[in-house]
Structure formats: C-alpha cells, structure tokens
C-alpha cells in the first residue's frame, strides 16, 4: 500500500460489512472517515467513525478488541482482502493509518469461515479455537512444592522453537486468510509448543489426535499448503509447525 505523502490527515471511504446477527443477511455499507490522523491505529480510525455514528444516532460498527498492543488476539478483520491489513507481522490494532493514502477506499470484512459464526458486523465467534485447545487436555506435572530451576533439561533450540509456536495469540487470521478456511497453522502452533518440550511428552499422542478430531468436527477446511496463513500471521508462525503437526499425527496414529 502506498504511504501518505507527508500529509498528516487523510480522508477515506470505508466499505464495512454490516450484519445485525448470525442468521440475517449482511451487506457492505459505505462510510466516510474524514480527517484521520496518520498516527492513528486502524482501530482508532474505526473509533472516530463510530463516534460520529453514535452522535448521529446510528448503530456503531461492532468490532472486537482488547489490548490494542498486538498481544491479546482479540482484534482482526480482512482489510482490502488481507487478514489484519496490508502490513506483515501486524495485528489490526497495530496497523497504522500512515499505510493508507488520502482518498483510499478500504473494504473491511469479518473473518469468514463456517466455524466462525458472525455475531455482529466484524465480530465473529471464535470459540471453536478454545474448543480445540480444550480437546487437547492437560499436561502431567507434579504439583508439589516449587521445583528448582532447570531440573528438567530442555535444549536451547527446542525451547526457542516452542516459544516461537507459543507466540500464537489465537487471533484466527490464519483461518480467515486460508483459501480453505483451514485451522492447521493454529493447531500446528498449539500442538508444537507442547510437543517440543519434555513436559508435553506424556500426553503428546492423545493430544494431537483429539485436537485434530476437534478441528475437523468444528468444520474447518483441509490444508492444501497454500502458505497464506504464515504470510498473514501477526506472530509470523511458520508452516514448519504444520509439518510438525503432521509428524505428530502420523506418530500418534501409526506408532
């Protein structure tokens, strides 16, 4: 996307998906976002639009958000065809308006997947992701007194990879961007961060089988290795985690 050329404030035309509830038809509606500071975040821009809607006694655009610093995973929308907008490794709340130009038209749609019902406008129900995590179950830890540090040796490389996978904030952008609405990157990250550590080993087989079964039951699509997920993931989770998920699944299923 082109940058605004030094100009501080920009005017945009927004086409926003409006839908009052899960079972009603939605449609794109057009709004003007005027005098938007390029220092604002995308969500702050939506706040400005909403304030004006409220003043005019119209229904504000519903969107999810919480931390607004890229760590909670609540925000997200497909902006001009890209999940979380045009910048790499960025959540929608961390996307700044300086990446847009004056008089741009911006299309804003919710995550679309059979497994994510639209609750209202841009807010979707992502509880399927929680259900997958729950299906994974517990890990066995001896819940005694405070253990000494480093009693369980973990190789540095494994720790790093596990941390990379654990960076997943469960935003659902991978599913939104996947041409097949597959949740393999999310599940790959969740399976990997435990599978790589000794603490996750005892239940590894059961965990991966249950999580994949839940993923399928929730109605997510099948991965065809299009690699759109890792390209939009705000935490830049790699599809090597999907390969690990496949390996864990093969191990659990056949060995």
Partner 1 sequence: MNWLLDIIESSIGKKLLMALTGLGFCVFLFGHLAGNLTIYGGKDAFNSYAEHLHSLGPILTVAEIGLLIFAMVHILSGIFLFWGNLKARPQRYVMKKSAGGRTIGSRTMPYTGFLVLLFVIFHLMNFHFVDKTNTTIFQIVQNAFSDPIYVGIYIAAMLVVGIHVSHGFWSAFQTLGANHPKYMPLIKGLSICFSLIVGMGFGFLPIYFLFML
Which of 12, 64, 65, 70 lies closest to 37 in space, CA to CA?
A: 12
Q: Which is nearer to ligand HEM, 13 or 246 (CB)?
A: 246
The tokens for 176 are: 């939104």
Least CB distance to ligand SF4 at residue 235 (A): 4
Least CB distance to ligand FES at residue 217 (A): 27
The tokens for 17 are: 């998906």
Contacted by 49, from ligand SF4, ligand FES, partner 1, none: CB < 5 to 8 Å by type: none
Considering only residues 124 through 143, tell me which ones interact with partner 1, judged by CB under 8 A.
Answer: none
Q: Which is nearer to partner 1, 138 or 254 (CB)?
A: 254
Asked if 224 touches ligand HEM (CB under 6 A), the answer is yes
Least CB distance to ligand FES at residue 95 (A): 9
Distance of alpha carbon 62 from alpha carbon 123, whole angstroms: 6
Taking contact as CB under 8 A, which single stretch among the options 38-46, 131-139, 145-153, 210-218 is the one that binds partner 1?
210-218
Asked if 253 touches partner 1 (CB under 8 A), the answer is yes
Which of 219, 65, 225, 238 lies closest to 168 in space, CA to CA?
A: 238
Least CB distance to ligand FES at residue 47 (A): 12
Taking contact as CB under 8 A, which single stretch among the options 39-47, 60-68, 134-142, 218-226 is the one that binds partner 1?
218-226
Query: How many angstroms separate the first and last alpha carbons of the chain?
Result: 49
The conformational region for residue 111 under phi > 0 = left, psi -120 to 50 = alpha, else beta, is: beta
Q: Find out whether 245 and 237 touch, Cβ atoms under 8 Å.
A: no
Asked if 235 touches ligand SF4 (CB under 6 A), the answer is yes
Tokens 């004056």: give the residue: 102
Continuous segment of H or E residues that includes residue 133: helix 127-136
> Could you tell me how far CA 193 lies from the centroid of its own chain?
17
Contacted by 237, from ligand FES, partner 1, ligand SF4, none: CB < 5 to 8 Å by type: ligand SF4
Contacted by 133, from partner 1, ligand SF4, ligand FES, none: CB < 5 to 8 Å by type: none
- Cα 245 to Cα 6, 203, 253: the distances in Å are 46, 14, 12
Among 40, 115, 122, 191, indicate the residue that binds partner 1 (CB under 8 A).
115
Considering only residues 84 through 143, tell me which ones interact with ligand SF4, judged by CB under 6 A.
Answer: none
The secondary structure of 88-122 as a DSSP string is TT--GGG-BGGGS-TT-EEEEE---BTTBEEEETT
Least CB distance to ligand FES at residue 169 (A): 6
How many residues interact with ligand HEM (rule CB under 6 A)? 2
Asked if 250 touches ligand HEM (CB under 6 A), the answer is no
- Cα 16 to Cα 32, 40, 65, 222: the distances in Å are 11, 19, 17, 29
Binding site for ligand HEM (CB under 6 A): 224-225
């Amino acid at each position: 996307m082109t940058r605004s050329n030094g100009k501080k404030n920009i005017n945009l035309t927004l086409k926003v998906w409006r839908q009052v509830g899960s079972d009603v038809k939605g449609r794109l509606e057009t709004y003007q976002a005027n005098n938007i500071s390029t220092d604002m975040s995308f969500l702050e821009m939506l706040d400005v639009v909403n304030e004006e809607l409220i003043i005019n006694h119209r229904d504000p655009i519903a969107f999810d958000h919480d931390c607004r610093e890229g760590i909670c995973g609540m925000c997200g929308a497909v902006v001009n065809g890209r999940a979380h907008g045009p910048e790499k490794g960025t959540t929608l709340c961390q996307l700044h308006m300086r990446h847009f130009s004056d008089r741009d038209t911006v299309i804003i749609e919710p995550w679309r997947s059979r497994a994510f019902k639209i609750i209202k406008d841009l807010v979707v129900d992502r509880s399927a992701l929680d259900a997958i995590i729950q299906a994974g179950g517990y890990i066995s830890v001896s819940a005694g007194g405070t253990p000494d540090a480093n009693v369980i040796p973990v190789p540095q490389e494994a720790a790093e990879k596990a941390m990379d996978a654990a960076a997943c904030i469960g935003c659902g952008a991978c599913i939104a961007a996947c041409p097949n609405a597959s949740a393999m990157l999310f599940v790959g990250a969740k399976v990997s961060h435990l599978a790589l550590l000794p603490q996750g080993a005892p239940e590894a087989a059961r965990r991966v089988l249950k999580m994949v079964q839940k993923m399928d039951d929730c109605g997510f699509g099948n991965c065809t290795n299009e690699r759109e997920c890792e390209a939009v993931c705000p935490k830049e989770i790699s599809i090597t985690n999907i390969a690990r998920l496949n390996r864990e699944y093969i191990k659990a299923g056949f060995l």
